[in-house]
């Protein structure tokens, strides 16, 4: 099941730090502070971890904040509102 990007915002003016809100009903229901997710953008991409920066159980969304540091985060930064992410696994880790 692909996961839709509902919001995208560049943080600062460097062009390398972004915030995204993603529709993830099951993950949003179970997320807590301290959790992370594994993302895979497309069939050929690798899975990589990102921290859950925020979650909204009512809207069924999670928020991620990431810095472009490699191929996967660069590809993620090029996605726009309405685009989808192939896999989002989580929430993983322990709650704080």
Whether residue 38 contacts residue 51, with contact meaning beta carbons closer than 8 Å, is answered with no
User: What is the topology classification, in CATH, of domain 3-92?
Assistant: Elongation Factor Tu (Ef-tu); domain 3 (2.40.30)
* Class of residue 85 by CB neighbours under 10 A (exposed 0-12, middle 13-18, buried 19+): buried
pLDDT at 26: 97
Domain boundaries, the chain: 3-92
pLDDT tens, residue by residue, 35-67: 999 999 999 999 999 999 999 999 999 999 999
């Amino acid at each position: 099941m692909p996961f839709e990007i509902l919001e995208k915002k560049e943080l600062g003016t460097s062009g390398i730090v972004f915030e995204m809100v993603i529709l993830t009903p099951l993950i949003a229901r179970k997320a807590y502070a301290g959790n992370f997710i594994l993302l895979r953008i497309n069939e050929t991409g690798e899975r990589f971890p990102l921290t859950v920066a925020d979650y909204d159980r009512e809207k069924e969304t999670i928020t991620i904040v990431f810095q472009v540091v490699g191929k996967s985060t660069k590809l993620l930064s090029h996605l726009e509102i309405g685009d989808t992410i192939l896999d989002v696994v989580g929430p993983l880790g322990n709650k704080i």
